[in-house]
Amino acid sequence: MFFFYILIWVIPIIAIIYCLVDIIKSEFDQPLNKMIWLLVVIFMPILGAILYLSIGRRNKI
């Protein structure tokens, strides 16, 4: 049961925090992209984190 809780709660929270920290620390090719990615990850946390890890990291300088 403990393993189930780790998969459902802890791993997504760690991924979301990692994405937010990475967005804040990084420079993007357009300043507006940083704000957009922050809003996406904040308002759609799990989907936003997945999208950022697959698409958003390519836009960094």
Q: Note the maximum CA span of the chain.
A: 44
Q: In this predicted structure, what is the pLDDT of residue 58?
A: 83
Give domain status of residue 21, yes or no.
no
Give domain status of residue 17, yes or no.
no
Full domain range(s) for residue 35: 29-61
Q: Specify the pTM.
A: 0.85
What digits encode the pLDDT tens for the residues 3-50? Answer: 887 788 888 999 999 999 999 999 988 889 999 999 999 999 999 999
Give domain status of residue 6, yes or no.
no
Instruction: Show the DSSP H helices in 1-61 as ranges.
Output: 2-5, 11-25, 31-43, 45-54
Question: How many Cβ atoms are within 10 Å of 43's Cβ, its own excluded?
Answer: 9
Give domain status of residue 55, yes or no.
yes
Give domain status of residue 9, yes or no.
no
Give domain status of residue 3, yes or no.
no
Domain count within the chain? 1
Q: In this predicted structure, what is the pLDDT of residue 22?
A: 95
Give domain status of residue 35, yes or no.
yes
Q: How confident is the model at residue 1 (pLDDT cuts 50, 70, 90)?
A: confident
Could you say which DSSP state residue 55 is in?
T
Give domain status of residue 22, yes or no.
no
* Structure-block tokens of residue 21: 């920290």
